[in-house]
Homo-oligomer: A and B are copies of this chain.
Amino acid sequence: MTHTDDRTPTTVDDRPVTLVDEDARAWSPRTARARFREGLAGPTAGVARGHTQANLISVPADWAYEMLLFCQRNPKPCPVLDVTDAGSVTTVLAPDADLRTDLPRYRVWENGELVDEPTDVREHWRGDLVSFLIGCSFTFEWALTAAGVPVRHVEQGRNVPMYVTSWQCRPAGRLRGPMVVSMRPVPPGLLSAAIRESSLLPAVHGGPVHCGDPSGLGIEDLGRPDFGDPVDFEPDDIPVFWACGVTPQAAVMASRPPFALTHAPGQMFLSDARDEQFRVA
């Protein structure tokens, strides 16, 4: 299932570490997609600097309206960047990409159960699938870095930690489920910059939904994320929570559509779009 060249990420406690190194930062999105198509897998934070990353969820056409409505009704976790026509494997976000092969790793869902995590979904593809590309908070990490805000999970070579919250999304037809968040520890003196920089990019989740005490989101233990890796805090760091594009996967688990394909959390689609295209001011 995995390609094993020297770029295949090693694992720590069975978790893949991120792909990011100086080389991967400078990749073009096309190069990144080509590597992923060859089988390279791992979290994409920090890959292809300045290019917009996206969450993927593909559902059968008879679920597409409810998925689009779910996204419209929950724009913080589900800002839609593109919706394909049924059966199409391409997106306006990267016209030469193939959505079946060009992500590092996928998840295959049947009746809300995770049944496979391949690096290629050509054998699972169906002609009735409508694909949703949803903004990803990795996109604003470059803006955080430029503003002097440390990105701990990238510094520590880990996937971003993600948590299923007790906040319920507004349902849409058969689709319902909790909001998922990503968390980044932020030094108190940089909280203002972190909020400002992310807020100006609403298409990739915008400003945080919560800062501080994780119990406000029903999160019991920051050391045990539901997806991704725990990250270490520096003294005084405040946990800051952004709505996360893994939320549609939580909706799949809660709502049990017969079939869905998604990206694996943290292993995103690298689009040709530039982050600056989504900055509102």
What is the size category of the interface that chain A forms with chain B?
A: 10 to 19
- Chain B nearest CB from A224 CB (Å) reads 32
1/0 per residue, CB under 8 A from B, across A94-122: the answer is: 00000000000000000000000000000
The number of times this chain is found in the oligomer is: 2
Whether B65 pairs with A280 at a CB distance below 8 angstroms is no
Q: How far is the CA of A73 from the CA of B133 in the complex (A)?
A: 12
Q: How far is the CA of A255 from the CA of B256 in the complex (A)?
A: 35
Q: How far is the CA of A80 from the CA of B206 in the complex (A)?
A: 17
- Docked complex: A53-96 residues within 8 A CB-CB of B: 64-65, 68-69, 72-73, 80, 82-83, 92
Q: Which residue of B lies closest to A72 (CB)?
A: B80
1/0 per residue, CB under 8 A from B, across A169-213: the answer is: 010000000000000000000000000100110100011000000
On A, residues with C-beta under 8 Å from B are 64-65, 68-69, 72-73, 80, 82-83, 92, 170, 196, 199-200, 202, 206-207, 280-281
The 3 closest A-B pairs by CB, nearest first: A199-B281, A65-B65, A199-B280
Can you name 4 extra interface pairs (CB under 8 A) apart from A196-B281, A206-B280? A68-B69, A92-B170, A199-B281, A200-B281
